[in-house]
Amino acid sequence: MTTTYGPLAIWAVVLVVGVATFAIRYSFVYLFGRIDGVPPRLEEALRFVPAAVLAALVAPAIVDPGPTLTATVLDDRFLAGVVAAVVAWYTENMFATIAIGLLALWAVGAVV
């Protein structure tokens, strides 16, 4: 899919995310000596942000709930995603995960 946003909106996103990301990176370097660091409760929550957000981004792209469980599982993106997850787990290699995941998508698409 292609965005319908114009150049102004896209550059605004680039700029706002860029400035905010720099602010996060620089935050405690700037504040050093003034505050002790990340409050423990916040740090506890921050530890789970990557897993939660990444899963929320991935899952809808590979799980498309069908009318039955069989229809949900026998979906080319779901099957390719499972293959890729197994590859990611055993190889911890992003290139292998992408390559085999794409191949699996093509292969399953030819069969299912």
- Taken in order 44, 46, 51, 57, the sign of the CA dihedral is positive
Asked if 78 and 72 count as a contact pair (C-beta separation under 8 A), the reply is yes
CA atoms within 13 A on the CB side of 69: 0
User: Is position 107 an interface residue for another protein (rule: CB under 8 A)?
Assistant: no
Hey, which residues between 27 and 56 contact another protein (CB under 8 A)? Answer: 27-29, 31-33, 37-38, 43-56
User: Is position 73 an interface residue for another protein (rule: CB under 8 A)?
Assistant: no
CA distance 77 to 94: 18
Could you list the residues that contact another protein (CB under 8 A)? 1-5, 7, 9-18, 20-22, 24-29, 31-33, 37-38, 43-63, 65, 77, 80-81, 84-85, 88-89, 92-95, 97-98, 101-102, 105-106, 109
